[in-house]
Structure 1
Amino acid sequence: MKARWDIFCSVVDNYGDIGVTWRLARQLVVEHACDVRLWVDDLRAFERMCPDIDVHLAQQWQEGVDVRHWPSEWVAAPAADVVIAAFACQLPPDYMEAMAERQRTPLWMNLDYLSAEEWVVGCHRLPSVKFKGVQKYFFFPGFRPGTGGLLREAGLLEQRHAFQQDVAAQQHFLQGLGVFPLAGARLISLFAYENAGLARWLDVLSTDGRATHLLVPEGRILGDVARWLGVEGLAAGAVHQRQALTVQVLPFVRQEQYDRLLWCCDFNAVRGEDSFVRAQWAGRPLLWHIYRQDEDIHLDKLDAFLELYTAALSPAARAALVSLWQAWNTEGDMAQPWKMLMEHWPEVLAHAERWCLEQGLQADLATALVQFYESWI
């Protein structure tokens, strides 16, 4: 019999949490024949990346996944064989009672946030708290051997490579979004949180000797882009040009389309967790806007990733990349770090592809979760 999985997602920053759990749920169904219920407390946020969602339904099927609205007033539901609390969300008390009442208690996991910090390896798959005999385990995605790996669908890297070799396919995709860049223009995608450091970066791009076409999916950074352009507001479809820089706002698209957008671009600025991982699978240089946390502890996570990611770069290229990422995440001056990065562009570009292929040698997150369940039973 197929194992039954329950994944609980409490939407915090609109897209990151649901982005990860939606990809995971679909992959468990398609590649591992799991029976998956995805409990989501905010269907309107979910609707942005899955427009077929009916936000008024308590239960519906989407791409083989049983999607359930997670109501504030819990309605009794039987516990599954595997229970995932995504990003440390708190399960409904009545559901926890249902877990404890099962003849065979479920495998209960806290799917934690992605981190490159060394301590993650030591904590991965360790037991956590118990609830009436039901043991919870830590499960950490990660970049190092000994972690749960990253979300990666079967054949993803092969699909990406074929797409990037097919200029006609890229042009067709971009034209479907209404994007018609100038010949030879640098393509950059920008998906980020609010950032006061954006203006200096856009200043540099606009005065560069090479044309840049900046593609900005709808999101929180639009206010900063609008202020730099000197316009009242921006919406999908807007196109503005200032000297060498063309700024175009794109609609929020499905995850598969966003993946292809990243594959088309020469450089990708991303945020949070889901888009961060997808930018790495694009095999192109990237800039990560990490989610800000109290007391700036997010900067420790940023430094841990940079230490791992830049280890194989030359000292000069490493310094350029590190200074750019640190400036972006502290709202510092982006002008000089960007110019430094351009001086080492061939090395940074080749490194992005190597890093992608190296990460692709590890088991993907969905497979690691299934393997843990199989070893647990």
Structure 2
Amino acid sequence: MKASWDIFCSVVDNYGDIGVTWRLARQLVAEHRCAVRLWVDDLRAFERLCPPIDVALPQQWQEGVDVRHWPAEWSPVAAADVVIAAFACQLPPAYMEAMAERERAPLWLNLDYLSAEAWVTGCHGLPSVKFKGVQKYFFFPGFQAGTGGLLREAGLLERRRAFQQDPLARKGFLAGLGVFAAPDARLMSLFAYENAGLASWLEALAADSRATHLLVPEGRILGDVQNWLGVEVLAAGAVQVRGALTVQVLPFVRQEEYDQFLWSCDFNAVRGEDSFVRAQWAGRPMLWHIYQQDEDIHLDKLDAFLELYTQGLSPEAKAALIDLWRAWNAGGEMAQGWKKLLEHWPEVAAHAEKWCLEQGSQPDLAAALVQFYLNWI
């Protein structure tokens, strides 16, 4: 298929929005031969994920994607065959006029936030508003049949499996990041928003009978880590030891490296949407810090996912996992929840791999978008 696509991304959550749209744009180009323009209003946030980006350029090519700076003052351009407003961002009024002026109206999609809530399957693919005859449709990523699926590149799970079965590949990758953990240490990653519950978790890890090597990429949680350690400055390259816990701060890595980073760890604490999905593809036990929303409506999304994710676990393992996730997302006490999860570690670890393979058997988001367009035309 050769169709033109415009993807609009307004960066509102540091890296989640651009993380999703950048992955999608590259996959549409690489696997579906689409011509993709990615419009981004914050190239500096984009630069963290794609270091070759020149933030001063209004237009540039990256990995086959036509990357455009989305300026405050819009210059007229022809509308594409498919137009994606990522996460309900508002398109430029002049661009909407260009859509209406096309001889054949484009397919206009609102690519919404990921959710496991039951109502999503009923709304996915339904028409939304119209603009001068141009119809917009809802498109929901999701975990169940009847949704748009999850972003997953071709061969991803096979590459992950080969990496995890190759100790030398893992060791070499970690060495490239400057990570040299003790052979018997539990390797964990921490990428989260600010969280009052972190101190109790770190205390539990420090007092554990087994060593833990905690890898913390630069990000918003770093201030809480710094406060617990009682140090004035904590930057990339820092290594601090407290009891059985070694804390190591890593520089922000590009997306491809972040996948291998998650694959390398025994447990991954992640946040937002993009890293949340990538942690699931790692097939390892995980903890999600969901983005907080007004009136705590994010907790409904959290519970909906937990209801799906914990199916098949024993009642005891299910309760341990749910209690830990809820405590983390409430900024609560983490020590007892972590201890309970460790009691069920073999079952939780096997379940994470099983969930990964189940999700991997479904169509991926990029393929679902392309099929939706083919059905539409």
Name the TM-score class by shorter chain: over 0.9
After TM superposition, give the deviation of residue 112 of structure 1 in Å.
Answer: 0.1
CA distance in 1 between partners of 2:233 and 2:356 (Å): 36
SS in structure 1 at match of 2:225 = helix
Deviations 1:325-360 (A, max 9, x none): 000000011000000000000000000000000000
Q: Determine the structure 2 residue equivalent to 1:276.
A: 276
Match in the other structure for 1:56:
56
Deviation of the 1:183 alpha carbon: 1.3
Aligned residues: 377
Q: Which amino acid aligns with 1:302?
A: L
In structure 1, what is the Cα distance between the partners aligned to 2:221 and 2:333?
A: 17
Q: Which residue of 2 aligns with 1:82?
A: 82
Deviation at 1:207, TM superposition (A): 0.6
CA displacement 1:268-318 (0-9 Å, x = unmatched): 000000000000000000000000000000000000000000011000000
Contact 1:223 1:233 in 2 (8 A): no
Q: Name the CA distance, whole Å, in 2 between partners of 1:21 and 1:340.
A: 37
Q: In the alignment, which residue of structure 2 is the partner of 1:366?
A: 366
The 5 A counterparts of 1:316-327 are 316-327=316-327
How far, CA to CA, are the matches of 2:240 and 2:338 in structure 1? 22
CA distance in 2, matches of 1:246, 1:256: 25
Q: Is the 8 Å Cα contact of residues 270 and 276 (structure 1) preserved in structure 2?
A: yes
Aligned pair 1:315/2:315, yes or no?
A: yes
Q: Structure 2 stretches of 5 or more lacking a match?
A: none
Q: Given the alignment of the two structures, is residue 73 of structure 1 paired with residue 68 of structure 2, yes or no?
A: no
CA distance in 1 between counterparts of 2:307 and 2:359 reads 15
Q: What amino acid is the match of 1:20?
A: V
The residue aligned with 2:159 is 159
Match of 1:299 in 2: 299
For residue 7 of structure 1, what is the aligned residue in structure 2?
7
3-state SS of 1:96 partner: helix
The Cα offsets for residues 236-291 of structure 1, whole Å up to 9 and x where unpaired, read as: 10100011000000000110100000000000000000000000000000000000
Distance 1:352 1:2 in 2: 37
SS in 1 for 2:6: strand
What letter corresponds to residue 92 of structure 1 in structure 2?
P
Question: 2:83 aligns to what SS in structure 1?
Answer: strand
- Aligned twin of 2:125: 125
SS in structure 2 of the partner of residue 60 of structure 1: strand
What is the distance in 2 between the residues matched to 1:259 and 1:2?
29
Following the alignment from structure 1 to structure 2, what is the Cα–Cα distance between the partners of residues 254 and 294?
A: 31
Alignment of 1:220-239 (within 5 A): 220-239=220-239
CA–CA separation in structure 1 for the residues paired with 2:68 and 2:62: 10
Deviation, 1:2, is 1.6
Structure 1 runs (4+) greater than 3 angstroms displaced: none
| Offset of residue 365 of structure 1 | 0.1
Counterparts of 2:24 and 2:239 in 1: how far apart (Å)? 34
Q: In 2, distance between residues paired with 1:233 and 1:190?
A: 18
Q: Which residue does 2:208 correspond to in 1?
A: 208
* TM-fit CA distance, 1:233: 2.2
Looking at structure 1, the residues matched to 85 and 305 of structure 2 have their Cα atoms a distance apart, in angstroms, of: 24
Q: In structure 2, what is the equivalent of residue 258 of structure 1?
A: 258
- Structure 1, residues 85-136: CA drift from partner, whole Å, max 9, x if none? 0000000000000000000000000000000001000000000000000000
How does 1:108-147 map onto structure 2 within 5 Å?
108-147=108-147
Q: Give the distance between the partners of 1:261 and 1:15, measured in 2 at CA.
A: 17
Tell whether the 8 Å contact from 1:190 to 1:217 is kept in structure 2 after alignment.
Answer: yes
Q: Secondary structure at the match of 1:249?
A: strand
Identity of aligned residues (%): 81
Aligned to 1:171: 171
The aligned amino acid for 2:146 is G
Q: How does 1:323-334 map to 2 (within 5 A)?
A: 323-334=323-334
